[in-house]
Amino acid sequence: MGLLAAGTPLTWYDSRRYNEHVKTEGTEQLLQVMKAAANRDHDPLYWGDEVEYMLMEIDDTNCNTMLDVIDDKIITDLNTDDYQLCKDNNVEIHPEYGRFMVEATPGGPYHGLTNGHFVESNMVERRKIIDWKLNQYARRLSKGKRLSVLTMTSFPRLGASGKFLNIENQWDHKNSASRSLFLPDETINRHVRFPTLTANIRVRRGEKVCINLPMYKDKFTPEYDTSIHDREWFTPEDLESKLASKKGHVYLDAMGFGMGSACLQMTFQAPNIEKSRFLYDSLVNFAPIMLAVSAAAPAFKGWLVDQDVRWNVISGGVDCRTPFERSTEPILPKYNKNGLGGVSEEEQSKLQRIPKSRYSCVDLFLGGKNKHFNRTYNDTEVPINDKVLNRLLENDIFPFDYDLAKHFAHLFIRDPIAIYEESINQDNMTSTNHFENIQSTNWQTLRFKVPNQKAIPSNKSAPGWRIEFRPLDVQITDFENAAYANFIFLISEAILTLGENLNPYLKMSQVWENMHKAHSMDAIVKEKFYWKDSFTTETSSTSLLSINEIFHNNESGIFATFINPILMYRGLVNKEWQELQVSPNYQRLYYYLKVISDRASGKTVSVARFIRNFIISHPDYKQDSQVSELINYDLSLMFERLTNLDNANDEITALFGHSTAEYLTTTKLNK
């Protein structure tokens, strides 16, 4: 997917009459896909990553860094005029939610470990191309201003008072899509899909979305979020904020705070559907653990917060559930009758209570024929769409087994939030449009990616069964992003190689708890997470372990159980990953593993802690948890230096430790 399809997405009130249609037809499309692709086998371990970038305008005269919402044509340009350049460099450019965002992936997937640094080379290439194009646009700027592309998970001043976008007069007109007190609609991708998603989520819910993040408490931190102000543009939305915000919390009220943050994702193809289910189940508990180890988001809306990651911000930012579904009272009962939001009258009696947002941790293990799975591991409350479940189980196209049917029947409790007028009628034998409408707006920590009807066993040109790993905050440097990507790749390859010699299962309720813990400040060194006592016995018993133990213990640690065995199996080491340090071809892989090992052991700090330390030790910081324009500007300059592996201020050393810094600054990446 490069450019978005043209078309007219319907507003909530026009689209909701088609909700049932989309679900019914989407279910039929899924059945056709299963019929075509269920028997695929021996697909290679293709994989790829996705990196999300932020475009920024840096004003060196006034010492302010703003998000660039002018140059989003970069996505069109790199997919048209400069398409060949991208193609020649195996780069693909995608749109994202934020108008200031770009997503980039390899043009074609990688196969296996490649030479250990191919992924990073590709990431470097992507950034170079984006940077090259931005430099062309930058010619319009007056002296002292420039454009920059950075991988920052959350832009600390998105939505803060003052100037955080590179446009004038952003508040001289209304922001009717989000109705946020803080984010103008110019933060949203211009393609009509995105403002429509934003508005439809709000209208279905019957209220603005609402995220209260605990404030980081410092000496002069105020008791309340002082940025909430009165306004009389929208009723009832403008009346909600004071009631919805909580003491001691930073209050966010728009999808853009979440979808406007950046992440790193990886997709892996398994040989067949059984193995992809097993890979999925095995990665379930890696998601919260790796989220904690990737933590890179300590500040939102101009405030330091008492948490380190973006996840719950997006989760809340796209939470379309009505108050009834969330089992809470509406903020303003007068405007949100019985807490039923924008749900149509006919549908109201069918509503169920739904414990989690459509953007959340995985809900169900997929099970399958592997000998370790049993249903008691799925021990949380997970509502399902009974109609979809029954159809998947009983039909003459492709009868599902219960556990896989339940997974999809759960996804199908969600309504479509953007239906295109032109796409209402689809041919279920060839299209997966309705199915993907529901599937791709269920944003979980993992996605079980389904092929299409063309993916019959003999057609190897169509992608097969894939698992997407989605929890990670994006890292500052290509080096780190490549490190995390390769790390998850090795774990996935280990899982596929060891197969049922591994028993990955624990209780889903413990995974949910881990997800919660992964948010806390300095979780890497302060929290304990549920982790299996053994992956090689039938036990499902877990213990609460520190991240250091989870990575480094001998019995069930990630290095001992997954990384060392797969490196030995590949013949790259005799016993331990540390041997790679002297490997002629895989030395860089050693540093990838080391960067993660060092963070997990607490030898070096997380990106979130690194940013937090930068902010609280900045001369302009007033111990009030606020991130000023000057601090934000200096932070972005530091990001630039790190991105360029410039160690003039010893920042590479501070982030990675001496030996990695020495390696990074003296070793050129071979392509």
Chain residues that interact with Mg ion, rule: CB under 5 A: 50, 103, 265
Is 508:363 a contact under the CB 8 Å cutoff?
Answer: yes
Radius of gyration (C-alpha) of the chain in whole angstroms: 24
- What is the closest distance, in whole angstroms, from the C-beta atom of residue 107 to ligand ADP in the complex? 8
- What is the closest distance, in whole angstroms, from the C-beta atom of residue 93 to ligand ADP in the complex? 10
Distance CA 353, CA 339 (A): 12
Residue 206 binds: one of Mg ion, ligand ADP, none (C-beta under 5 to 8 A by kind): none
Distance CA 482, CA 119 (A): 6
Is 528:497 a contact under the CB 8 Å cutoff?
Answer: no
Which CB, 25 or 50, lies closer to Mg ion?
50
Write phi, then psi, for 423 (nearest 5 degrees). -115, 20
Residue 493 binds: one of Mg ion, ligand ADP, none (C-beta under 5 to 8 A by kind): none
- What is the closest distance, in whole angstroms, from the C-beta atom of residue 50 to Mg ion in the complex? 5
Which CB, 103 or 207, lies closer to Mg ion?
103
Residue 640 binds: one of Mg ion, ligand ADP, none (C-beta under 5 to 8 A by kind): none
Residue with the CB atom nearest ligand ADP in the bound state:
48
Surface-to-core class of residue 1, CB atoms within 10 Å of its CB (0-12 exposed, 13-18 middle, 19+ buried): exposed
CA dihedral 566, 568, 572, 573 (to 10 degrees): 130
SS3 assignment, position 364? coil
Residue 258 binds: one of ligand ADP, Mg ion, none (C-beta under 5 to 8 A by kind): none
Q: What angle do CA 624, 626, 630 make, to 5 degrees?
A: 125
Which CB, 202 or 470, lies closer to ligand ADP?
470
Residue 358 binds: one of Mg ion, ligand ADP, none (C-beta under 5 to 8 A by kind): none
- What is the closest distance, in whole angstroms, from the C-beta atom of residue 315 to ligand ADP in the complex? 18
Residue 95 binds: one of Mg ion, ligand ADP, none (C-beta under 5 to 8 A by kind): none
The residues that touch ligand ADP, with contacts defined as CB under 6 A, are: 1, 46-50, 94, 105-106, 109, 267-269, 463, 466, 468
Residue 106 binds: one of Mg ion, ligand ADP, none (C-beta under 5 to 8 A by kind): ligand ADP
Q: How far is CA 150 from the centre of its chain?
A: 17
- What is the closest distance, in whole angstroms, from the C-beta atom of residue 48 to ligand ADP in the complex? 2
Distance CA 197, CA 22 (A): 16
Which CB, 105 or 626, lies closer to ligand ADP?
105
Residue 633 binds: one of ligand ADP, Mg ion, none (C-beta under 5 to 8 A by kind): none
Cis peptide before 214 (omega within 30 of 0): no
Which CB, 265 or 510, lies closer to Mg ion?
265
Surface-to-core class of residue 383, CB atoms within 10 Å of its CB (0-12 exposed, 13-18 middle, 19+ buried): middle
- What is the closest distance, in whole angstroms, from the C-beta atom of residue 296 to Mg ion in the complex? 16
Distance CA 417, CA 413 (A): 12
Which CB, 339 or 471, lies closer to ligand ADP?
471
- What is the closest distance, in whole angstroms, from the C-beta atom of residue 248 to ligand ADP in the complex? 36
- What is the closest distance, in whole angstroms, from the C-beta atom of residue 74 to ligand ADP in the complex? 17
Is 467:448 a contact under the CB 8 Å cutoff?
Answer: yes
- What is the closest distance, in whole angstroms, from the C-beta atom of residue 354 to ligand ADP in the complex? 24
- What is the closest distance, in whole angstroms, from the C-beta atom of residue 79 to ligand ADP in the complex? 13
Which CB, 93 or 389, lies closer to ligand ADP?
93
Residue 463 binds: one of Mg ion, ligand ADP, none (C-beta under 5 to 8 A by kind): ligand ADP
- What is the closest distance, in whole angstroms, from the C-beta atom of residue 187 to Mg ion in the complex? 15
Surface-to-core class of residue 123, CB atoms within 10 Å of its CB (0-12 exposed, 13-18 middle, 19+ buried): buried
Which CB, 109 or 342, lies closer to ligand ADP?
109
Which CB, 106 or 258, lies closer to ligand ADP?
106
Which CB, 2 or 602, lies closer to Mg ion?
2
- What is the closest distance, in whole angstroms, from the C-beta atom of residue 610 to ligand ADP in the complex? 27
Which CB, 263 or 596, lies closer to ligand ADP?
263
Which CB, 48 or 341, lies closer to ligand ADP?
48
Q: What is the DSSP string of 459-522?
A: -TTS---EEEE--PBPPSSHHHHHHHHHHHHHHHHHHHHHGGG------HHHHHHHHHHTTBTT
Is 420:21 a contact under the CB 8 Å cutoff?
Answer: no
- What is the closest distance, in whole angstroms, from the C-beta atom of residue 124 to ligand ADP in the complex? 16
What sign for the dihedral angle of Cα 447, 448, 452, 453? Answer: negative
- Residue 307 is given by DSSP the state B
Residue 466 binds: one of Mg ion, ligand ADP, none (C-beta under 5 to 8 A by kind): ligand ADP
Structure tokens belonging to residue 413 = 């409790």
Residue 302 binds: one of Mg ion, ligand ADP, none (C-beta under 5 to 8 A by kind): none
Residue 234 binds: one of ligand ADP, Mg ion, none (C-beta under 5 to 8 A by kind): none
Residue 49 binds: one of ligand ADP, Mg ion, none (C-beta under 5 to 8 A by kind): ligand ADP
- Residue 439 is given by DSSP the state H
Residue 527 binds: one of ligand ADP, Mg ion, none (C-beta under 5 to 8 A by kind): none
Which CB, 50 or 225, lies closer to Mg ion?
50
CA atoms within 13 A on the CB side of 264: 30
Closest to 309 measured CA to CA, from 546, 550, 611: 611
Which CB, 40 or 599, lies closer to ligand ADP?
40
Which CB, 82 or 468, lies closer to ligand ADP?
468
- What is the closest distance, in whole angstroms, from the C-beta atom of residue 118 to ligand ADP in the complex? 12
Structure tokens belonging to residue 82 = 């400069």
Distance CA 379, CA 396 (A): 31
Is 470:286 a contact under the CB 8 Å cutoff?
Answer: no
Going from the C-alpha of 515 to that of each of 203, 248, 288, 289, 508, the distances in angstroms are: 28, 22, 5, 8, 11
Return the amino acid letter for 356: K
Residues 6+ apart with CB under 8 A from 281: 365, 366, 367, 368, 370, 373, 504, 505
- What is the closest distance, in whole angstroms, from the C-beta atom of residue 133 to ligand ADP in the complex? 19
Residue 46 binds: one of ligand ADP, Mg ion, none (C-beta under 5 to 8 A by kind): ligand ADP
* Number of C-beta neighbours around residue 184 at 10 A: 23
